[in-house]
Copies of this chain bind each other. A is one copy, B any other.
């Protein structure tokens, strides 16, 4: 996995030139500088008015930095441009020949009708051998090497913890929403890329890079439009063979398509066509924002050894619901059926065995209803007994009764040592303290029976 990639300088730069650096975090050039200083790269802030910015030597011009590199350092890995759109072409010309990649953060290109200006920077990049990310973009965040080009202060947009989920978004706004939601769901992140108008580097290039990224197991990709359809399908397919890719396509209707067009300046095709092509090539699509975040959480929790299995020649979609509240089990079963999961009866011989263990008022249908009399260990007994009869398990733990405690997390963790079947949890408990032991044990927790069922469906649909 150690072969080089043309996007290495973008994701692991040793040198970063920041054009439009500022001395204060009241300006975005100051926020980005502050964030960049946390990385291990050499930072070269450019600002004609300061000799020093935030304790780092500043340079009066791009030319002044170039002289430095010409004098011995060779070429620069990455330039980040935060200047008005009209200045960007000249800045890029100044980078030609000695800078490998550039992130154009600035807006004011195709998304505002400035197609000529956008075409101009595209040409300059191509001619000068500079790979361009953007314009109109957030750039790159890497939780592992601490590269952070986002123009949003870490206090204002908290970064999720380190983990194995990469986030791609054409839209900076959706990226910030995904950050908040992924963090709230306690999911860990590897890299994030906001690629905006995608004048050069697009989702396909990033998929290609992430396919070999050792920190990334799951890629969630918010897409409004795709420039080159064939390139996209090839890259998405190749990525899906190595990692788990989940796409969320926005702009599904005529109105949405128009909005997506005005927003990033790329043309969005007819959604139905896009969606059917994805299906045809086995590329997973989710219907909405919550589903994307919930699925990422489920996939991130389940280790890569958890493959959907073929039980006794079955569908691979047989699920067992184990609950301590009848009604919640029924709601989960309803959603399982909508998701085309098979809420199959408990095999008769297992029903007999379970009846021998449990009080007569426990219900051994599926959902298995352990009632308000349940104790944590009851769940473990059922899971052990049925582990080879189902492809996945949905556990419902309602905490209003005294028998359900956080030690259930331990019970499920032990089950997972003996089974690689996906397992998800729904609880009514809205506080953090009940959820944390489960999530530490790699068991994804959801706040409604339906969301848990949808996450389980994703786990059984997506093979890792």
* Cα-based distance from A430 to B432 in the complex (angstroms): 13
Cβ of A436 to closest chain B Cβ, rounded Å: 16
Question: Which A8-29 residues have C-beta < 8 A from chain B?
Answer: none
Q: How far is the CA of A147 from the CA of B429 in the complex (A)?
A: 24
Chain B residues with CB under 8 A of A367 = 259
When chains A and B are docked, how far (Å) is the Cα of A450 from the Cα of B327?
Answer: 25
> Within 8 Å CB of A329, what residues of B?
173, 259, 263
| Known interface pairs A253-B337, A259-B367, A263-B369; A325-B177 also in contact (CB < 8 Å) | yes
**Number of chain copies forming the complex:** 2
As a 0/1 sequence over residues 325 to 357 of chain A, the CB contacts with chain B under 8 angstroms (1 = contact) are 111111101111110000100000000000000
Q: With an 8 A cutoff between CB atoms, is A252 at the interface? A: yes
Q: Given A262-B369, A333-B256, A337-B252, is A169 in contact with B222 using a C-beta cutoff of 8 Å?
A: no
Q: How far is the CB of A268 from chain B (nearest CB, A)?
A: 9
Question: CA A371 – CA B107 in complex, angstroms?
Answer: 11
How many Å from the CB of A255 to the closest CB on chain B?
A: 4
Closest Cβ of chain B: how far from A159's Cβ, in Å?
12
A366 at the interface (CB under 8 A from B): yes
Q: Does A171 contact B (CB under 8 A)?
A: yes
Shortest CB distance A377–B (Å):
20
Which of A157, A181, A325 has the largest count of B CB atoms less than 10 A from its CB? A325
- Interface: A279 (CB within 8 A): no
Which of B222, B327, B400 lies in contact with A152, CB distance below 8 A?
B400
Does A315 belong to the interface (CB within 8 Å)? no
Which residue of B181, B250, B336, B372 contacts A430 across the interface (Cβ within 8 Å)? B181
Check B262–A365 contact: CB distance below 8 A: yes
CB distance from A317 to the nearest CB of B (A): 13
Q: Find chain B residues with CB under 8 A from A401 CB.
A: 152, 156
Complex Cα–Cα for A324 and B183 (A):
21
A172 at the interface (CB under 8 A from B): yes
A14 to B380, CA, bound (A): 46
Q: Provide the bound-state CA to CA distance between A326 and B336, in Å.
A: 33
> Residues 398-442 of chain A: 1 if any B CB is under 8 Å from the residue's CB, otherwise 0?
111110000000000000000000000000111000000000000
- Let me know if B328 and A177 touch, CB within 8 A: yes
CA distance A230 to B336 in the complex (A): 30
Query: Are A325 and B176 in contact (CB-based, < 8 A)?
Result: yes
Contact A255 B337 (CB under 8 A): yes
Contact A447 B264 (CB under 8 A): no
In the bound assembly, the distance between CA atoms of A170 and B328 in angstroms comes to 11
Q: Which residues of B contact A324 (CB under 8 A)?
A: 173
CB nearest to A344 among chain B residues = B255
Per the 8 Å Cβ criterion, residues 171-218 of A in contact with B are: 171-174, 176-177, 180-181, 183-184
State the CA gap A369–B365 with chains docked (Å). Answer: 51
Question: Is A363 located at the chain interface by the 8 A CB criterion?
Answer: yes
Contact A400 B334, beta carbon cutoff 8 Å: no
User: Contacts A181-B447, A450-B288: A256 and B330 contacting too (C-beta < 8 A)?
Assistant: yes
- Given A255-B333, A289-B448, the answer on whether A181 and B327 have CB atoms closer than 8 Å is no
Q: Within the assembled complex, what's the spacing in Å between the Cα atoms of A259 and B94?
A: 70
A288 in contact with B326 (CB, 8 Å): no
Cα of A181 to Cα of B451 in the assembled complex, Å: 14
Cβ contact within 8 Å between B250 and A327? yes
For the complex, give the distance between the alpha carbons of A425 and B366 in Å: 39
Chain B neighbourhood of A163, CB < 8 A: none
| A399 partner residues in chain B, CB cutoff 8 A | 156
Is the Cβ of A330 less than 8 Å from the Cβ of B250?
Answer: yes
- Answer yes or no: A251 CB below 8 A from chain B CBs: yes
Query: Does A174 lie within 8 Å of B224, measured CB to CB?
Result: no
CB contacts (< 8 Å) of A248 on chain B: these are 331
Residue from B172, B176, B290, B343 within 8 A of A451 (CB atoms)? B290
Which of A's residues lie within 8 Å of B, judged by CB?
107-108, 111-112, 152, 156-157, 169-174, 176-177, 180-181, 183-184, 222, 224, 248, 250-253, 255-256, 258-260, 262-264, 288-290, 323-331, 333-338, 343, 360-361, 363, 365-367, 369, 371-372, 398-402, 428-430, 447-451
The contact sample of 9 A-B pairs, CB cut-off 8 A, is A152-B400, A157-B400, A177-B327, A181-B428, A250-B334, A253-B337, A255-B336, A255-B343, A288-B448
8 residue pairs, one from A and one from B, having the closest CB atoms: A173-B325, A171-B327, A263-B326, A174-B327, A253-B337, A250-B330, A176-B400, A177-B428
